[in-house]
Chains A and B, each alone.
Chain A
């Protein structure tokens, strides 16, 4: 298995909702990432987990809460989001200099 799987592919949520994004990989990669991407812009790093521990938090608002329950799974919990948080959320994993990206979750906050 050489893929990073993200679910759901699309999500529409209200500003008072709580939802979660899920990311899974079975390549044995020990670093996993969340990125946020606006249309036609480069991905912006949000969080990095290394060996299941949070190693980088790019000053992301607390309404985004990451979680790494095990070495294969990465979640992003969402609460009280704003319309400007609407974007494509990409998960990635890496090992030995190779990065694999998922297809992303297209999030719309209404």
Chain B
């Protein structure tokens, strides 16, 4: 089985401050990890993914995430939040392996950036 946990329901941050959205995962074997963002009434937009390689992954719109195997975490970060970053953020995981297409999503975090 594979799963992710996003422990917070909502993250509030002042504009210009660092933004962190937390994600921990559980998977048998090596994980594929993803972050997606969703604006109201829109589909999921891909931000970044970790499959292998460097633990620090850089993605779209200035976001990055750090894969930490010992803590089974993949927290999303942005050094300086913008009001336009206010959206719903989903962490997702699938286990590495041929034939396993199932992507498991966390519950989502609402990010509110305060002007």
Contacts and interface: CB of A to CB of B under 8 A. Distances in A.
Do A and B come from the same complex? yes
Interface of A: 6, 31, 33, 40-43, 45, 48, 50, 55-56, 88, 90, 92, 94, 97-104, 106
Contacts of B49: 97-98
Interface of B: 32, 34, 36, 41-46, 49, 51, 88, 90, 92, 94, 96, 99, 101-103, 105-108, 110
A101 B108 contact: no
A56 B103 CA distance: 12
Contact of B41 (A31, A101, A106): A106
A1 B34 CA distance: 21
A48 B51 contact: no
11 contacts: A40-B88, A41-B107, A41-B108, A42-B107, A45-B103, A56-B102, A97-B49, A97-B51, A101-B46, A103-B42, A106-B41
